[in-house]
C-alpha cells in the first residue's frame, strides 16, 4: 500500500517519509516504525509484517509464473492444433491430387504465422485469432451442409475443425494468461 499520505494507525498523524514507515499487508494499515511497541510487529494483528510482505510478494511472483506456465501450454496447444489442421488440409489435398501451388504457399504462410504466434508477435496473434474465428464460421456452415446431405464423416471432421478454431479464437483473443505468456516471450523473460 501507499505509505506516504496514509495516516499512522498508532498515532494517527500523517506519514510523510516512506523509509520511516511500514505497512501490514493483512490489515492494510500503515504506521511509523517508531510508533511500534515491538519491531516488525503489526500493532493490529500482531504478526510480523516484514515476513508477510515478503511471502505476499513471493506468492504474487509464483502466481504470475503459474499463469505464464498455463498460458504457455494453451498457446502451445493452439499452435499444435492449428498446425495439425493445416497439415491435414494440405495432406488431404496432396492425397486427393487437388493440391495447387497456392495450397502449398498457404500452408507455408500458416507455418510462419504459427511460429510467429508462439514467439509472441502480436500481429500473428491477431491474424490467427481472426482467421480462426472466420474458419470456425466457415467450418460450421460446411459441417451443417454435410450433415444435412448425410455426409457424416465430413460433418464430423468439420465439427472438430469448428471446435479447434473456436477454442483458438477464444484463447488467443480473450485469455489473459495466454497474453501474459506471449508478452513474456517478447520480453525474453
What CA–CA distance (Å, rounded) separates 175 from 177? Answer: 5
- Nearest alpha-carbon partner for 89 in 112, 75, 117, 110: 110
Question: Measured from the CB of residue 35, what is the shortest distance to Zn ion in angstroms?
Answer: 3
Q: Are 22 and 39 in contact (CB under 8 A)?
A: no
Which CB atom, from 17 or from 153, has the smaller least distance to Zn ion? 17
Question: Measured from the CB of residue 64, what is the shortest distance to Zn ion in angstroms?
Answer: 24
Radius of gyration, alpha carbons of the chain: 27
- SS3 of residue 7 by DSSP: strand
Which CB atom, from 24 or from 124, has the smaller least distance to Zn ion? 24
Question: Measured from the CB of residue 40, what is the shortest distance to Zn ion in angstroms?
Answer: 11
Going residue by residue from 24 to 63, which x/- string records binding to Zn ion, judged by CB under 5 A? Answer: x-xx----x--x------x-xx------------------
Using rule CB under 5 A, residue 3 touches Zn ion: no
Could you tell me where the DSSP H helices lie in the chain?
A: 49-96, 101-118, 122-148, 152-174, 176-187
Q: What's the length of the chain?
A: 189
Going residue by residue from 70 to 109, which x/- string records binding to Zn ion, judged by CB under 5 A? Answer: ----------------------------------------
Contact footprint for Zn ion (CB under 5 A): 8, 10-11, 24, 26-27, 32, 35, 42, 44-45
Amino acid at each position: 500500500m501507499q505509505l506516504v499520505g496514509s495516516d499512522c494507525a498508532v498515532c494517527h498523524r500523517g506519514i510523510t517519509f516512506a523509509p520511516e514507515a511500514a505497512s501490514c499487508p493483512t490489515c492494510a494499515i500503515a504506521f511509523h516504525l517508531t510508533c511500534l511497541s515491538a519491531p516488525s510487529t503489526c500493532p493490529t494483528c500482531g504478526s510480523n509484517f516484514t515476513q508477510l510482505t515478503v511471502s505476499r510478494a513471493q506468492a504474487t511472483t509464483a502466481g504470475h509464473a503459474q499463469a505464464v506456465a498455463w498460458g504457455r501450454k494453451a498457446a502451445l496447444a493452439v499452435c499444435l492444433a492449428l498446425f495439425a489442421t493445416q497439415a491435414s488440409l494440405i495432406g488431404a489435398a496432396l492425397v486427393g491430387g487437388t493440391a495447387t501451388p497456392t495450397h502449398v504457399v498457404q500452408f507455408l504462410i500458416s507455418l510462419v504465422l504459427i511460429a510467429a504466434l508462439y514467439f509472441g508477435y502480436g500481429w500473428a496473434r491477431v491474424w490467427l485469432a481472426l482467421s480462426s474465428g472466420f474458419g470456425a464460421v466457415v467450418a460450421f456452415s460446411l459441417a451443417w451442409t454435410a450433415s444435412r446431405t448425410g455426409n457424416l464423416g465430413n460433418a464430423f471432421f468439420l465439427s472438430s475443425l469448428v471446435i479447434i478454431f473456436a477454442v483458438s479464437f477464444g484463447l488467443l483473443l480473450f485469455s489473459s494468461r495466454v497474453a501474459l505468456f506471449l508478452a513474456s516471450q517478447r520480453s525474453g523473460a
